[in-house]
Structure 1
Amino acid sequence: MFNLLAVNISPNTSGLPGIAELENIVGALLTVGLVAAVAGVIVSAIVWALGHHSSNPNHTSRGKTGVLASLIAALLIGGADVLVNFFVGAGRAL
């Protein structure tokens, strides 16, 4: 009979070739994401300012939303490894 309590599998870095390259690719994607988030804050702030000075409430609202979305994206991208590690630890405790 198969005993589920006897299964003990953990992640390893030597199971497949190319893990180091994959880590480099993911790190590059994090960099690209953070640069895009900074660009999003800049562009959205410009739209917000132009909308405010031209008395256009639609552009003002879209600019505010863009700034907030870009900041949340930067938060999630910057904390991605912390969030994933938290949930990995929580999953191990199940």
Structure 2
Amino acid sequence: MIDIDPNDSGLPGIEQLREIVGAVMTVALILSVLALIISAIVWAYGSNSSNPNLAGRGKIGVLISCAAAVLSGAAVTLVNFFWDVGQGI
């Protein structure tokens, strides 16, 4: 039977890579908030100008930006969950 676990100190630069990934997650969350604000403005403008196409695109933008924020925030949890599922196989 082979039992192999991830090695946190096996390669040089792992700690810097963790910092880079954390920074990328922060940027993704900031961009999600920006996209949410822009989409809400487009939705409001489309609704107030009686433009259903623009309002619809704004609604979809709000949903996509919220989904992006959820996925960026839950990325570590999702990877850990599927790692545990994979270990159980």
Q: TM-score, normalised by structure 2?
A: 0.98
CA–CA distance in structure 2, aligned partners of residues 14 and 60 of structure 1: 51
RMSD: 0.5
Give, in angstroms, the shift of residue 8 of structure 1: 1.3
State how many pairs are aligned: 89
Structure 1 match to 2:70:
75
What TM-score do the two structures reach when normalised by structure 1?
0.93
Q: Which has the larger radius of gyration?
A: 1
Distance 2:69 2:9 in 1: 31
Deviations 1:26-69 (A, max 9, x none): 00000000000000100000000000000001100000000000
The Cα of 1:78 is off from its aligned counterpart by 0.3
- Over the matched positions of the two proteins, sequence identity in percent amounts to 55
1:16 pairs with one of 11, 16, 19: 11
Q: List structure 1 segments (4+ residues) > 2 angstroms apart after TM superposition.
A: none
